[in-house]
Amino acid sequence: MSSAFSADLTGRTAVVTGASSGIGRAISDIFLANGATVIGMQRRADDRPDERHRSVQVDLSDHAQLEAAANQILASDEVDILVNNAGINIRHPFEEFPLNEWDDVLDVNLRSVVRLAQAFGRPMVERRRGAIVNIASMLSFFGGFTASAYAASKGGVAQFTKSLANEWAGRGVRVNALAPGFIGTEMNTALMADATRDRQIRERIPAGDWGRAEDLAGAALFLVSDAAQYVHGAVIPIDGGYLSR
């Protein structure tokens, strides 16, 4: 993979959730290309042959699995970078939203972010160095439609990012977030297949097209690199200008 921005991550270990596909895979790939060792925390097996990559299969909605996977990694690795990327979206009109499904969305999109930031962030604070990148969303800024659980979770991610940056910026750990717009990943397959919605979305985006997972990867690389030493608590839209219109 090529990128206009490069950074030397040699000797650093990154944990990336949801790393088997989409945005998580693109971020993992660019980290690997820039010298990092990458540990993917994900539900699906991963076939990448890179010797600096391995995966830990885990269902992030399962609290016990999450704890066990984090402890497994911490027992063998010093983690310098955490990217909380994994997320799910379940849509219902709110008056019909099953609360167990609401809980599923919040568990994956917010609770796992909080728990992993705590687990991997504690040693970073002790060493006084590290970087955490959370994946927020356009719905961190506005409400969306029939996506109340997703909007609530991603609003929480944005505010959690800012709050944690307030605590850890002076202790050597950078905490920031990226807020993707309409990105052509598996989560958006149904929207892309709907000709009317696809046209409406493209017309609404100043850049005129859906983003790619790789568009997030370069920004993530910047945030974990030495070039971003003074960036703390930022929630950066990667949306083709969508929020500007």
Q: Where are the domains of the chain?
A: 13-233
- pLDDT tens, position by position, 159-189: 999 999 999 999 999 999 999 999 988 778 8
* Percentage of the chain exceeding pLDDT 70: 98
Domain 13-233 maps to which CATH number in 2.60.40.10, 3.40.50.11900, 3.40.50.300, 3.40.50.720? Answer: 3.40.50.720
**Cα–Cα distance for residue pair 46/39, rounded to 1 Å:** 11
Active-site residue (options: 31, 120, 150, 242):
150
Count CB-CB contacts under 10 A for residue 222: 18
Confidence category of residue 2, pLDDT binned at 50, 70, 90:
very low
Q: Which residues, 6 or more positions from 79, have their beta carbon under 8 angstroms from its beta carbon?
A: 13, 14, 15, 39, 73, 120, 123, 124, 130
Reference 175, options 239, 107, 121; nearest CA is 121
Residue 242 designated active-site: no
pLDDT for the residue numbered 4: 61
